[in-house]
Structure 1
Amino acid sequence: MRGVDLYDDPAFLTGYRELRREKRGLNDELEIPAMAGLLPAVDGLRVIDLGCGEGGLAVRLAEAEAGGAAEVLGVDASAAMLARAVAHPRVRYQRADLADFELPAASVDLVVSSLALHYVEDFEELVGRVAAWLVPSGWFVFSVEHPVVTAPLVEGTLDDYADEGPRQRTWFGRPVVKYHRTLATTLATLQRHGFSLQAVQEPLPTEAQVAAHPHLAIHRRRPPLLLVSARLAAN
């Protein structure tokens, strides 16, 4: 079972939604504010949200200050997640697997993805498609689990970092497959497809955040997330 399909499993989805509701994950304290800081001004832009889940990021983009995005298409493979997606007049949703989702060339201004691309096996091919969808000078901003998290731990030590490929972990009692890529591979792939790096971030919780949310303490020891902002060449 692919990682994204797990969200259609009722027991798994219940566990995930409880995690988000109780704010025991990384989203509210780390990923969402870091993503907001990397995004360009979205007013009037045509946006695609890859792996949109229940539409939180898509709606935030549509409701951004000074008018928000002109239109946002949220794409996700999970029917259960899309059934709970937040409605908004400038947001629409489409069920599709990111491995074969297609758009017309030069049809969008911004592609975003929040903690979904580590489920994609062929990152090179996906980045090529994203580059084709974007207009010249278009933006690609995304977050993934950090490579030091997707690499395996052996006796408490990071191991086999250079060996890229699938990694199976257990989450809410279910096996989940994510794809490990080194930081160098991720950044070099973007550059090969005509992107220039605008920002690379590895957000860590502050001491105040750890005091308020003790489950974040382990994330002071190594970065849990990688965020990248990249821009396509002008021509």
Structure 2
Amino acid sequence: MKQNQYDDHDFFDKYSQMPRSIGGLQAAGEWPALRAMLPELRDKRVLDLGCGYGWHCRYAREQSARSVIGVDLSEKMLARAIDNTNDSAIEYRRLAIEDIDFAAEEFDVVLSSLALHYVESFDSVCRKVYHCLVSGGTFVLSVEHPVFTALAAQDWFYGPGGERLHWPIDHYQNEGLRQARFLDTDVVKYHRTIATYMNTLIDSGFTITRLSEPQPTQETLAKYPEMRDETRRPIFLLIAAVKN
């Protein structure tokens, strides 16, 4: 199932008003942790799966990456990325992540930020990434944390006064499709356990080198106080792996 809600006018308009859509990487609470997991990018060939506005593509070039290809299924996202990019070494392609078919050892680094929990066949994507990476190449990905995706409601348990009491977790071991609500739109996500994410990478031939369950930094919280509850439970899972 290949989803493309971002080309819906109302959905894209609401997404465009989110802090990370306006402020870019500096407004993304997980960015400091993700940046720390990236390898040296100088002279590297980089692939960004689910590139969106192209923030990570442009960052890679700022770090002197040799070339970058950004893949996304949304015409609107890619149009925004192209408008914000003035660099012939960055190429954007309209393509579903599930449909990538790059040559063997075409890239040194593959990055995917908050896209793979929308993809049903994570194992297939891992095999394709393994194929297109050089030996010793790096795959860094972020997804919504399984604690966050376990229940489709993806919401707090509230007290009588509307206060956030706790984050409920149920059906954690029941992997598969979740019909979630995001920006007033029904969105299909795929819940996987942490073990499934890790073992799928291992079974595809990768060695996991780093895990992170980041929380917003104090600097981020000072700028975006609405993120204060993100310190109470993990919302993102970040994984770095290398091709054996």
1:88-127 to 2 correspondences below 5 Å: 88-127=87-126
Could you tell me which amino acid in structure 1 is paired with residue 107 of structure 2? Answer: V
Structure 2 CA distance for partners of 1:207 and 1:36, relative to 1, 3 Å: closer
Question: Is the CA contact 1:2–1:177 (under 8 Å) kept in the aligned structure 2?
Answer: no
**TM-score in terms of structure 2 length:** 0.87
| CA apart distance, 1:45 | 0.8
**TM-score in terms of structure 1 length:** 0.91
Question: Is the CA contact 1:76–1:98 (under 8 Å) kept in the aligned structure 2?
Answer: yes
Question: Is the CA contact 2:118–2:188 (under 8 Å) kept in the aligned structure 1?
Answer: yes
| CA apart distance, 1:28 | 2.0
| CA apart distance, 1:49 | 0.3
User: 2-side partners of 1:27 and 1:128: how far apart?
Assistant: 31
| CA apart distance, 1:197 | 1.0
**Which residue does the alignment assign to 2:69?**
73
SS in 2 for 1:99: helix
For these two proteins, the number of residue pairs brought into alignment is: 228
User: 1-side partners of 2:137 and 2:204: how far apart?
Assistant: 13
| CA apart distance, 1:21 | 4.6
CA-based RMSD: 2.0
Residue of structure 2 aligned with 1:183, choices 181, 194, 211: 194
Structure 2 CA distance for partners of 1:79 and 1:21, relative to 1, 3 Å: closer
User: 2-side partners of 1:115 and 1:2: how far apart?
Assistant: 15
| CA apart distance, 1:210 | 3.3
**Which residue does the alignment assign to 1:138?**
137
Could you tell me which amino acid in structure 1 is paired with residue 110 of structure 2? Answer: V
User: 2-side partners of 1:11 and 1:75: how far apart?
Assistant: 22
User: 2-side partners of 1:198 and 1:128: how far apart?
Assistant: 18
User: 1-side partners of 2:107 and 2:125: how far apart?
Assistant: 15
SS in 2 for 1:93: strand
Structure 2 CA distance for partners of 1:31 and 1:209, relative to 1, 3 Å: closer
SS in 1 for 2:11: helix
Q: Identity, % of aligned pairs?
A: 42
Q: Which consecutive unaligned segments of at least 5 residues does structure 2 have?
A: 158-166
User: 1-side partners of 2:26 and 2:236: how far apart?
Assistant: 10
User: 2-side partners of 1:157 and 1:61: how far apart?
Assistant: 37
1:131-210 to 2 correspondences below 5 Å: 131-152=130-151, 157-206=168-217, 209-210=220-221
